[in-house]
Amino acid sequence: MKSYLVVCLIPLLLVGCISSDVDTEYPIAEQRADLRDEDNDGVINERDTCTTTPGGATISNDGCESFYQIDEKKLLKVLFENDSTDVPAIFVSQINEMVTFLAEYPETEIELQGFASKPGNHEHNMWLSQERAKAVQKMMIAKGVDAKRLTIVGFGDSQAEHDGEVDQALDRKVVATVIGFKGDVVKEWHIFTTREK
């Protein structure tokens, strides 16, 4: 008999507790700030001013990544035979390297400067220097470089420095110097980061 009474009282107690809690109202928190972190950089959306931070980047308190800039310099020097505008085969690989460099730095433009040696008249040497620069330009365009990125200028024999026949070969040239800039984010340190010893 006693065990029956205890079993009956337990459901009554539970019902009484449930019915008394139904009328109670709890305060609802009013969330004003966006506490999510949608780009997973550790800074909440409310404070994040850079919402597309790349993963693994070092970031500021505002959620913006830190950048560093690298620059690389590339030189081109193509020598020509006397009174010729044909690009010698030995310099094709150097032109190809410049084409590859320009592909890596797509914002970079280049000026191809043509020169001539002292022999011959000035007008012919001016034409010759421009045609040499055009010959290199055509090769680079054929390999995929946008013509808008390549300008040419001919200096003729105005900067020729050599008098001897052998040394004059150094004055018959097309040269170019270009510096490419690009940046990347500073990577965040973590337990798997390695460094050179």
Sheet holding 110-114: strands in order across? 67-79, 173-185, 110-114, 150-154
Q: How many domains does the chain have?
A: 2
Determine the pLDDT at residue 1. Answer: 47
Question: From CA 139, how far away is CA 107, in angstroms rounded?
Answer: 20
Q: Is residue 85 part of a domain?
A: yes
CATH number at residue 119: 3.30.1330.60
Question: From CA 67, how far away is CA 139, in angstroms rounded?
Answer: 36
What pTM value is reported for the model? 0.58
Determine the pLDDT at residue 41. Answer: 75
Same domain as 137, residue 109: yes
Helical residues (DSSP H) of 28-172, grouped into ranges:
92-104, 122-142
Domain span holding position 113: 69-185
Same domain as 98, residue 135: yes
pLDDT 10s digits, 109-159: 899 999 998 888 889 999 999 999 999 999 999 999 999 999 999 998 887
Same domain as 99, residue 129: yes
Determine the pLDDT at residue 183. Answer: 59
pLDDT 10s digits, 34-64: 778 777 777 777 777 777 777 777 777 777 7
Determine the pLDDT at residue 85. Answer: 93
Share of the chain above pLDDT 90, in %: 31
Q: Is 80 exceeded by the pLDDT of residue 81?
A: yes
Where is the domain boundary, 22, 42, 65?
65
Share of the chain above pLDDT 70, in %: 75
Q: Is 70 exceeded by the pLDDT of residue 165?
A: yes
Same domain as 79, residue 58: no
